[in-house]
Amino acid sequence: MKIAIMGAMVEEIEPLLEKMREVKSFELADNIYYEARYKGIDTVIAYSKIGKVYASLTASLMIERFKAQKLLFSGVAGAINDELKIGDLIVAKKLCQHDLDITAFGHPYGYVPEGKVYVESDKELLFLAKEVAKEKKIELKDGIIATGDQFIADPKRKEWIRETFNADALEMEGAAVAVVCDALDVPFFILRAISDAADMDAGFDFDTFLKSSSRRSADFIISMLDKMA
């Protein structure tokens, strides 16, 4: 079994690489991929860069070139559910693309023909995550994560996404990874640590909490690997 572990930014994978052994790096498609081992588990680790296109490219290469059989995504997100606070961990039960709009042709937001609005995460990986959270005695929330190629700072847009998709958190990669994994029949799991409130003060919060939130999210992924091992 080979596990792919992704982040969007280098800060999101640095805590993971610190735990790995036998790390080898490969330059491919203007990015760096790291093959490594953790307690007998083969992994491939990479940060995609920000946005849906780069996330899709990275996930596809991890699966097709590096032969990953499961994919775990660790990173940060902005909250649009008022119950989520900075530092909270949320797992995606399902994901959608809030910036996908062909409503002019009579389709709902987030939908393309032969596609679907929501892509559901792997239930076994979600169950594993719940078991890890229980053992670590931490609260792990779940919900809908909305993805788009914008950093949302407008409260009105935030509320529109919340109402339209019943979403709980915002980020810029997860749904793209989900679409790739769903198409290639690879189980996937998206974990996000809340780093900001996705409002007009989001830039300040993001800069302040990025590293600590990334580490908390990465530590949880490591605990999932521990349980797999």
Positions marked catalytic: 12, 196
Torsion of CA 121, 135, 76, 205, to 10 degrees: 150
Let me know how long the chain is.
229
Q: How many CB atoms lie within 10 A of CB 103?
A: 11
Inter-CA distances, 151 with 59, 85, 148, 206, Å: 21, 18, 8, 11
CA–CA separation, 71 and 125 (whole Å): 10
Amino acid at 52: K
Give, as one character, the DSSP assignment of residue 6.
Answer: E
3-state secondary structure of 169: strand
Q: How many CB atoms lie within 10 A of CB 60?
A: 17
CA–CA separation, 22 and 172 (whole Å): 31
Inter-CA distances, 31 with 49, 57, 183, Å: 9, 10, 23
